[in-house]
Structures are given as C-alpha cells and as structure tokens.
Amino acid sequence: MEENNKGCGFDILDIGCSGINEVVITPNQQKMKWKHLSTLPCGLPVWFENNRRKKMEEYLCEADKLKIHAFNNTQGFWPREKEIENAMVAELCAVQTSIKVERNPKTGKLRGFNEVFSLESSSSGSSSMALNRQPCALSEPIKGKSTNFPFFPGGMDHLETKRIEEDSAELNFVTGLLDTPPGFDGHIKFDDDKSRTAPGEVQDFIVSDVQSYTDLEDLEYSDHDNSDDECDDKQTVDEKEEKEDLGLASEKTAEPEQEKEKKEKWAFMIDVSKPVVDFHKKVLNMAHKWDFEPDTFQKQAIVKLESHDSVFVAAHTSAGKTAVAEYAIGLANRHKTKTIYTSPIKALSNQKFRDFKKNLVPSHPELDIGLITGDVQIKPEAACLIMTTEILRSMLYNGSDVIRDVEWVIFDEVHYINDPERGVVWEEVIIMLPDHVSIILLSATVPNTLEFADWIGRTKRKKIYVISTPKRPVPLEHFLYTGNSNKTSSEMFVLLDQNNVFQTRGYQMAADSIKERSSKGKEMSGAKGGRSHMNLKSEKNIWLSLVTMLEKKEKLPVVAFTFSRKKCDDNADQLGNLNLITSLERSKTQVLMQKYLAKLKGGDRTLPQVVRMQELLKRGIGVHHSGILPILKEVIEILFQEGLVKLLFATETFAMGVNMPARTVVFDSIRKHDGSSFRNLLPGEYVQMAGRAGRRGKDITGTVIILCKGDVPEMAELYSMMLGKPISLHSQFRLTYSMILNLLRVEQLRVQEMMKRSFAEFNAHRDAETIKHEAEKLEAKLSKIESVDCLLCNKDLMSYHQALSELTVLREQIKVAVLSTSFAQKALLPGRIITLETHNNQKALAIVLQVESDGSGKKLVDKSLTVLSILDNGTAGDALKSIKSIKDENHLEPHVKTKLLLPEGPSTYDIFQISVMDVCDITTSKMKIEGDRIIQDHRKRMQPRFSNDPPSRSTVIVRQELLRLIEANPEGLEVMDPIKDFNIRDLDLVDVLTRKCFLEDLLGTFVCTTCPKLKQHFSLVRNEITLRENLNHLQFLLSDDSLQLIKEYNQRIEVLKKLRYLDTNNRVQLKGRVACEISNHELMITELVFHNLLTDLHHTEIAALLSCFVFQQRRCSEPNFTKTLEEGKGRILSIAGTIAAAQTECGLVTSEEEFKEQFYFGLVEVVYEWSRGTPFSEIINMTDVQEGIIVRCIQRLDETCRDVRNAARIIGDPTLYKKMEDASASIRRDIVFAASLYTQ
C-alpha cells in the first residue's frame, strides 16, 4: 500500500464555483504527467503548480485573480478606444437661477437686476408648479389629472422661493459649511482668512474655454504669460460692474421714500366720455375688425388689450361687451396663444360657440374654436376654448398643460359672482390663475366695479382698468298697463321716460283708471304688484288685448317675463287662437323645425312637449324655461333670433345669455319667489330683464311694460325697483372639502392663503402693508424702551399691573350690569349723590341735576348726566379735565385707597355733563333739589354780562350740603350694593363681584406698592404693555387667526381627519385623493366607494341611486322603489348620517336631518328605467317632473358616473370601474344626449 502510494501527493480540488473544496491524491509529476479529470460536472478544477503555499494564499486571499474572472478568455471583448477630447467636455447641470428685471411699476424705469431661484425645468407635473416643467403626456385629459400640481398662482408669495432663500442664508458658499448650529438662533462668524485658499494655489478654470476646444493639441497652457492682460481685463470688468452698481444705486436712492409708503393703486377708472385720440395710430394693425366703427368704450378697451393689460368692462345690456372679447381672441390668434372664454352656464357656452364661429372664423380662417363642457369636447386643442367656469377651475387645480399657452381668460356675466351656490367658483379661478394670464371681465353695470377690480389687481399684483358705459345705446321707456279688454287696451301710461325721469303723473293716471273701473263694478281683483288670483278667462283677455295692441303699434317681438314655469305654459296655451306670423314666416318656421328636429329619433319627435311646442311656434309663440327640453329651447332661441317668434313667455334665465333683444319686454308680475319667500324684484334683476328691450340699429327706443292685473303697485316700490342702486358685487366665498383637499395635496399652497386672497377678506387685508409697517415701528419703539430698574418694582410690578387690569375690566362689567337694571334708572334721578374719580386718585362728590330724557331712545348706559361737583379752586371751569372718563385711553393708574376730595382753602363748584359710565359710585344719599333752576342759573351766569352775579339760593344750598357731607364722611359715603339695592340675581355676576372684592384686597399686598416712585414706574410698564398689546393686535390682523372662516376651516380639517381623508400632519390620504376626483358631494360619494356599497349593485341600480346627488327639485311625485333600490337609499342615508355626526362632533352647525334633506330621490325610478332602455316617452309618465329637468339631471348624472369611475381606477377596483362605464353608456342615448344645435 505504501509502495503504491510512493510518488503520490495531495492537492485541493475546487468543485465548481460554489466554494466547496476536496482533498485529492495527485501522482508524482516527475514520473507521471498530470491529466485533467473528466468526470466533474462543474468544469475543470484549478491546477496548482509548484510553490503550493504561495498559490494557496493567492487563491484564498486574492480571489479576483482567479482565471474564472478572466472574461477576455470566455467572451467577446472589444478594447476601448481612447478619446482624449471627451475628457475636456463638462456636462453642466440645470440652471438653478434666472435674472429678473426689477422696474418701477408706475414709471417703468429700470431699478436693477435680481438673481432669483427658479424651479428645475426637469421636474414633472406631479412634482412642480413651475411653468417650465416638462409637458405631460399627449394622452392626458384636457382637464389634467388630480395627481398633477397646479401652476403657481399669480400674485401669491412663492413659498418654495422663500424656503430656498432661508436655506441659502445659512450656507457659506466659500467653505460649504452651515453657520447656524442646531438649537441656535444666531449665526456663527468663522475666520474667513483661515478658510480661504491662498491665491495662486488654484488656477482659474473657465468651462466655456475648455468646451471651445475640440483637439487636445490646440489646448495651450499659459500660467503666467497672459496674467497681466487677465488682470487688466478683470479690472475693466470690475470697473464696469462698479459703475453699473453705482448707477443703479443712484437710481434707487433717487426715488422718494414717500412713494414707497404711499398705497399702491391697482384699479384705474377710464373716462369714456372723452374720445380716444389717434386711435388708429395707437393701433396700427387691428387684430380683429368689424363692419362698424367701435364705440369709445370699446376703443379704450382695445388700447389696453394691445398693451396686454387686464380690463373690467361693465356695460349696459346690448352695449357691445362681446366685441372686447372678440378682439382679445383675435389678438391671441395673432400671438399664436390661447384664449379661454368662460360662462356661468352650459347653454350660454353653446351659444357663444356658434356666435364666435360665425363672427370670428370668416375673418380668421386659421382660428379654431373649441368647446368643453361636462359631456362634450369639441376641438380641445383649439386656440379659443369656450367652457363653464367650473371646467376652468378643474383645469387649474389639475395643472392642465393648456394653461401654459393661455394669454387671456374672459369672464362673462361676472355679476353672477353674487350667486350663493356657484359664486365661489369665480373667486377660486381668479386666485388660481398663473401670472402670465391676463384677465378680461364682462359684466352688467354694478356700483362697485372699482372695488372689485382693486381686489383682482391686488390679488394678482397687476393693474386692471375699469371701463363702464354711461348710458344704454337704445334708451328705454317704461309703462304701466291697466287694460283688460280691447276697449281698454289703450290704457298704457308712461312711468319712466327715456331720460330716466320718473313720471308721477303717469302713475296717478294708472291708479285712477283702476279705481274708476272698480267703481263701475267691473271684475278686477288681485294683490299688489301683480300677485293675481284672477280666473283664466280674465288673464286671457288681458294678454289678448295687450298683444293685439302691441301688434298694431308694431311693438313686436315681445319677451314676457313670468316667474313661474307653470304660468309660462298656461299663458301660452290660453292664446291658442292667436296667430302672430305671416304664411311665409310660418312656412320658414316649419322648414327650420323639420331640419332641427330631424336629428331626433322617431319616438322622440312625437313627445307631447315637442308636438305642443311645434303648434305654438307655427303661430309665432314660444316658451322658454328650464322645464323645456334643451333641444327645443335651442330651436326657440334660433327662431327668435330669426324674427319668427313674436311672443316669448320666458323665465328670468332668458335674461342671462347672448344678445337676443326684443322690441318690447313685458313683466307679468314684479314679485318673485326667491326660494324662501315672495319679494319684489331687486333693481339689478329688473334692469337685467328690462335691458332685453330695444334692438340696436333697429329701434329708437325700447318699450318696457308692467302689467297691473290688480291694484297698481306702490309708487315707492316702483321707484326703488327702477331707479334704485343695483346690487353690488359681494363675495360668496365659502370653504368646500374639495377646495381644501386640492390645496392640501400641494405643499407650496395653503388654504389660508386662498381665504386671505378672497374678495370676502379684501377690505380686511387691503392695508396689510401699512399694518406691517406700523408693526415694525412698534417693534422699534419696544426695542428702545428702558426696563424699570427698581428693587421693589422688579419683584411684582408686572403681576400688579395684571391684577389691576383685571380689576378694571371687572368694574366696568359690573357697572354695565348694574346700570342695565330698572333699579338703576330709579336710582339715578335728580338729587342722587354720586362720586366721580379724579386724576389725583380722589373721589369728587357730585349731585345729579338732570338725566338725559327717554325721548332720545338711548339706554341708560349711553345717556349723559348733568351734575354739580365740589372741586378745588384751581380746577373751576376746567372740571372735565380733572375727572377720569371711560373714554380716556390710559385711564389705568396705580390703585390707592381714595378719599373724598376736600378742597384746601376756598372751595368752588362746577356744573358739567358726564357719561353715565363715568360715575364711580352711586351713594345711598339723596336730597331734594331744583335741578332745572340750578342749570338755568348756571347758563345765565355763563353769559358775560351776568358773570359777576351771585349764584342762586338753590345752588348755594346744594353746595353747602355737599361740603357738609364731605367733612362728615372723609372716607366716603355709603354706596349702593349691587346685590341688595339693584337686585342682581345672576350667579355669574355674583362670581364677578366676589372676584372683584378679592382683587381689591390683593392689590394692597404687592411689594411694589411701597415704592415711592410707583406711579412713574407703573407708567413705564403700562406704556410698554400698551405698545406690546398694540403690536400683538397688528400681528393678529396679519395672521391667519384673523380670517373670517378660520374657525370653520379648522373644523373642516378635523372632519377630514376624523373620516381619514387626512393624517395627523394634514397630508392627503388615499380617500382624500379619491375625493379630489369628485366634483359634487365629494365626501358622500367617496364614502360610498370606500364602503363598497356600489360594487355589488347592477349598473342600472348604481345610476338610479346616484341621481339623488344631482336632482335638485324638492317637490315631485313619490317614485316606486324596488327592494334593492330601497336598501340602497337606506345605505346612502346611513352614510349621510355618519358624515353629519362627524361634522356636528367637530363643531360644524349641521343637523343630521338638514344634511340628509339635500339628497332628493324623486328621479330614482325614472333614471332606473332610462338606464334599462325604456323610451323617453314612457319615463315622462312616471313622474310630474318636467322633461327639461329630467334631461338636465341625467346629463349631470353622466358626469357623476365618470367621477366614480375615476375613483374606482385610483383605488384599483376593476369591477366598479367596468360597472360605472356601463352605467354611463346606458344613459347616454337618444334625446337626453342629443347634440346641441349650436355645435353643428
């Protein structure tokens, strides 16, 4: 065995690459050549040569040298070519700053250049608010995505810039070290000489020079040859920069300091009474031209638009406001930018789409007009986009890329901001618009245009010019109509002529005609203002006589405003035999109706409303209100503009829209129901509707007629309605959960900033800069105040002041409570002895001579007293200055025990008036006096010729009695007790009295009261505290705590936290991101989604139940529910109860019943059947809700379905996503979603 093993050795075999080794026997290499093993599955083992120990160490310690890592032997390898030029290329990072020019906003002069931080252009829409961020994907919706950041609002302080500046201030860019350690408020100054690199150690290196070289051979190094030239060049540059700096500094110092302190003016009123001089020289090449010469106000607006200024045009109806919008669109088309035109309602958007295509496209063939509404998108890439204000708000919150290219945003019907429900949208949009967007506002005449424009200017930090029209282009004449038959059809009396002069004689004639007819026994009854209870026959006679008379006088077409949908329909049906159009016009009407109604399906053309409206239109009569099918309303509007509708019964909504004037406007009544009660029309409402009378270029005057079916309305009511001041623009800003969540998801935006910049907070924060300046002055004063250096006062003077301040407040509180009782009125009568506190800490005894009479209507605490008081001889005739008054600003003085004022030497008296609140104590003493005689004698001796007369006997007696009382009671007279004498029974007030007594005893225990200079030291402390209180008040006005809605905001934040839409740090959670997708009832719908209450339902049932969030009519027939729908209704109300309970718990005043009442289930059955495919002709028989309201409800429901679909996508619920798509598809059919005639 040993022999066999002679010449053999041992070696270590590495099995594969797993690190496992085995010892193997190897033959003697001298006798036998090594042969590789061929039985190992993992490849060949490592072959060790001689010097095994060394190889073993290399194998164990230098594994990277193993042959297994020699990749050049195992795979293809191409050696790297050396390119020396690449070493000279330096990749520059994105520029972090930009240069911003600073100019004087008034003169435009250059002030200087500032380097400002700019957000990185490489950022995306989900991480940056900068305009230069990367564009979003082309597939992104036109409204943007809820995950996008909005673009930074114009005029708002950039929080990110502030943060960068603060961070930069702490960084030393020379050493790269922070100079503010954690926990320190100040900075540490390092020795710069030690930290800097010595000159000459680092060679100047300019990247741009390196980049200019392309070949290494061309690169020349010159350390010292050109050093002199470089120094000269640097010196030249430094000298230039120094000169520029000196020039800029001198320019800045040249501006007067008073200009900075002067209030900045942002709104400017343009005088339109003066013609625009050299208009065609100022505007050489007009962006849009008309076939008429623009009016003066239009020219003024055009000049400002050419300067890229924002304008607010407040003009009368039919004055031509739309021309300003058309010019802005043409201007943007020239600049290759976009214009967004917003309107308050969808119908108006459709009308404007047609009008702009008709008026602008022929002059600008390259111009595209787009329309974006809730259910329609036509050319969303167009240069001019028409949409509702809600759509624009969504685009702003979602950071739509369209906003980048927008140059103008046009707000039409701005007076709609007064709407309680939707007015807040206007304010949100104006605040959120980026800085590069200019604003055009179009409105009816309102009294506070300058105030509203000033708010916009301050909010956006840009000037805005207000342009108003002085009068209507077509004057109006207003009449009262009292006729009721053909015989009396001429009874139409002028009430307001075309010069706006109220005709009292015309009113009296109208009233006399009514009285004369009543005296003859004719049937004519009704409430004032046209609130009529007349029978249908009398109503019909009135309308027949009126329309016949207007037709004879060629006063047609006429718009009859009636404030009830049912009344509109009844009035039109009563005139069934009346024909107002010719056979040619009837033929044209039939052709147009067949053309437009051919777009409906066969069953929809035979709907009762369609058939009935066709019959009315054939006779020139139309009806226009929200209950009419949308396509029918459009047919009526088009026929009215074509002059084929002679009599149109309409509700108030017809007054808000495109220019569709008539020759005459008739008011069926001047009273309307505003949702809570009946009231007369407001001046703004009357002017808006009456403004539809008078066609520019066709009529000399417009005619407005008020029907007097019963008694003539009161003259004062008519005068106020016609000539009263229109309603001003008021803020309707309110907090919504959607607004809060959309702002909280972006770190750079704050809800408080949105509230602070609202129109509601405008007056409170318009002087913010002045308040800030005053606060800085107070801080400077406080820094200069010297502290009290007194061993006695330093111990407890501040506590003493605090106790004395509290005591003063309690005394005033008790005094008000006592003087508000009936016992005080009986006590404070002439003859009552009282005390008054003097500035010398003494009490002057006085007697009441006279109390202000009750005829003044004031409470006792607000009344004045005439008193006679004993004073020192030196204060005679100047008594009021010696008496402490509640009106004194610094009436707080150190408390000392006061004694009655006893004059030294000859005493005197004085008679003067004081406030009841100036009375210190009411004593139990009183005396009989002749107060009137004493006052009369005093007034007599105040005259120069009687000044030396002796006082009357009554005066002398009172004076002597007061002196006797002072001498007998030097410590003071007994005073009336608030509880015993004034019958105070309020337990809280009793506690106040107890606290008052405690503080009075406590004041004597303070060490500072022993200081001989207490009054002086107290005055210093009092002055410091007063300044600090004033500073705190100014800081409060500048803080978020002064906002009107801050309490509600905090409460809503707590609700969102409680329902887990926000975490404890106010970060938006998943539920919050889902709620941002919902445009209506965001909390309710989000809770339904997260409680999984919709997933198990059929898509038809989901659509039916969601209708409760869009249906708004309170009263309607009760629908029939299936068992599943009934259960779904219960679940929805249960969720509503949970949300209401959370709101109540967090302090919001909303009862559970009130919260649930906002959801109406009246159309659940109708929507359910419609979603199942039931024809429209059948579902209208299931309810008494009118057809137009049903259509509007289902159209809004489609938007809600799409919101829920997006919510399902966010939470990852494919089942609900599919069902919501099916629900949306099932309701989008037939007449409900018939395309608008204006878009075809």
Q: Render 436-502 in DSSP notation, one character per residue.
A: T-EEEEEE---TTHHHHHHHHHHHHTS-EEEEE-SS-SS-EEEEEE---SSTTTT-EEEEE-TT--B
DSSP three-state, residue 69: helix
Give the number of other CB atoms < 10 A from CB of residue 200: 7
Largest CA distance in the chain: 163
Handedness of CA 553, 558, 561, 564 (dihedral sign): positive
Q: What is the pLDDT of residue 1190?
A: 94
What tokens were used for 490? 């001429």
Closest CA to 895 of 775, 1059, 1008: 1008
Residue 1207, C-beta contacts closer than 8 angstroms, at least 6 positions apart: 1074, 1077, 1078, 1085, 1086, 1089
**pLDDT value of position 986:** 80
pLDDT at 1173 (0 to 100): 92
Instruction: Quote the CA–CA distance of 1021 and 802 in Å, as a whole number.
Output: 11
∠ CA 210-211-213, nearest 5°, is 75
Decide if 338 contacts 405 (C-beta within 8 A). Answer: yes
Q: Which residues in the chain come in under a pLDDT of 50?
A: 1-6, 29-34, 37, 48, 160-161, 164-165, 168, 170-171, 173-174, 192-262, 522-532, 889
Cα distance between the two ends of the chain: 109
Q: What is the pLDDT of residue 528?
A: 40
- Strand segments, DSSP code E, in 894-951 are 908-915, 921-926
pLDDT value for 4: 47
- 41-54 b/e with 16+ CB inside 10 Å = b? eeeebeebeeeeee
Is residue 886 within 8 A of residue 816, CB to CB? The reply is: no
Cα 280 to chain centroid, rounded? 39
Residue 193 confidence (pLDDT): 44
Cβ burial, residue 969 (10 Å; 0-12/13-18/19+): middle
**Can you give the pLDDT at residue 741?**
95
| Domains present along the chain, CATH in parentheses | 267-469 (3.40.50.300), 476-520+536-723 (3.40.50.300), 822-983 (2.40.30), 1069-1232 (1.10.3380.30)
Contact present, 456 and 312 (Cβ < 8 Å): yes
Distances (CA, A) of 646 to 489, 550, 659, 665, 938: 19, 10, 16, 12, 81
Residue 125: per-residue pLDDT:
81
CB atoms within 10 A of CB 861: 15
- Give the pair of three-digit tokens for residue 974: 């007994």
CB atoms within 10 A of CB 1067: 11
Strands 110-117 and 97-103, by their bridges, are antiparallel
The pair phi, psi for residue 926, each rounded to 5°, is -155, 165
DSSP assigned state of 164: H
β-strands 406-411, 177-178 pairing: unpaired
Residue-wise pLDDT for 279-330, tens only, equals: 888 888 899 998 888 999 999 999 999 999 999 999 888 888 899 999 999 9
Number of helices followed by number of strands (H, E) in the chain: 44, 29
pLDDT in the model for residue 785: 84
Provide the pLDDT for residue 398. 92
* Bridge pairing between strands 558-561 and 621-624: unpaired
CA distances from 755 to 641, 651, 765, 1040, 1082 (A): 43, 35, 11, 9, 20
398 contacts 329 by C-beta, under 8 angstroms: no
Rounded to two decimals, the pTM is: 0.77
Cα dihedral: 546, 548, 554, 555 (round 10) = 20
CA distance readout (Å), 260 to 65, 151, 751, 1087: 76, 30, 30, 53
3-class DSSP state of 1197: helix
Sequence-separated (6 or more) residues with CB below 8 Å from residue 304: 270, 310, 311, 465, 467
Q: What is the pLDDT of residue 265?
A: 84
Residue 1013 identity (one-letter amino acid)? K
| 723, 502 contact by CB (below 8 A) | yes
